[in-house]
Amino acid sequence: MQKLPRIIAAFFTGLLFTGVISCGSKIRLGQWTIQNSSTSNANLSWAKFTWENGILGGKSFDRTAMFIPLKIEGLPYDFTFQFDLGSNVTLLYGNPLKTILAKHPEFDRMHKQFAFNDLSLLFGATKVTSRHCYVKQNQGVQLAASSLTDNLPIHLGSIGADIFQNKILVIDYPNQRFAVCDTLPGSLQATFTKITLDEYGRVLLPLRLNEKNYKVMFDNGSSIFSLIMSDDKINNFSTAASTDTITISSWGRIHNVIGRPLNQEFELAGHTFSNTMVYADYRQDYRTDIYDAITGNALFWDKTIIIDFKNQRFGVK
């Protein structure tokens, strides 16, 4: 692997589902500015997302990832990025980027070693400008030059938690849309639960099970899992016999995660859930003291969630 700066080396701990990435990265937050996001109680400025389906270990799964259609200022193409709050940084994938830079050398002037400076992304009516947007080398699909003219969206990267810091993020799952704002409209007021952000700006939700408290990272890049954790922590959640195995890949490393039923009720961010599955990841480098488990989109597919990064609170409607 190419040698990286210290802040980027040894950097990902998440899940790759047939080319769909959930990161869990640990890079210090860059600097972003957001324009045209909703700033008052007026109607929100919504942007769309799409669901990606996939085959994992020979099994078909719906909604394995959330993709955001967007544009990059200075380039004529349509792009998609994965929506991945398990990563604290927004990334460009090196393989498709090489083909784009060969066609647009003037765009490469923004490329400074391992990052792009002052990169502007546009989704819906929202424009996000990054002072430093990192490039993940050797990641993504290598494009033929001819593919730049076929008018199909190019999957170029992932959107991390960094662009939502000090903002309010609303994800409307049933209508497949999201919005970024400074103040919630009255129609989206909800009962909120206090949350914390880890030192990298990622969302940690409180979970209570069997009169014990746990920290659960919300990672919408880990889409299909209600709860997934390292093997040394799964007994805290379920001691039932394993009933499911899903084969996944993490940045090219193929491995299995093992599922057990969790029939007891648990409270996550002020809401009660039951009759779900918990999965164990047996990789040693998946272990962490930052959180006890990860939750993806599966618990919220029929809901709207509100993540208030600014005031560190979480609501569900």
Topology of 15-181 in CATH? Cathepsin D, subunit A; domain 1 (2.40.70)
User: Is the per-residue pLDDT at 41 higher than 80?
Assistant: no
User: Can 15-181 and 190-316 be said to share one CATH topology?
Assistant: yes
User: Is the per-residue pLDDT at 35 higher than 80?
Assistant: no
Confidence class for position 83, pLDDT limits 50, 70, 90: very high
User: Is the per-residue pLDDT at 17 higher than 50?
Assistant: no
CATH of 190-316, one of 3.40.30.10, 3.40.605.10, 2.40.70.10, 2.40.37.10: 2.40.70.10
The per-residue pLDDT for 164 is 95
The lowest-confidence range among 7-16, 156-165, 301-310 is: 7-16
Instruction: List all residues 6 or more positions away from 304 whose beta carbon is below 8 Å from its beta carbon.
Output: 170, 171, 172, 173, 174, 188, 316, 317
d(CA 246, CA 53): 15
Confidence class for position 188, pLDDT limits 50, 70, 90: confident
Query: pLDDT tens for residues 94-106?
Result: 999 999 999 999 9
Q: Domain-by-domain residue ranges, the chain?
A: 15-181, 190-316
d(CA 1, CA 179): 37
pTM of the model: 0.88
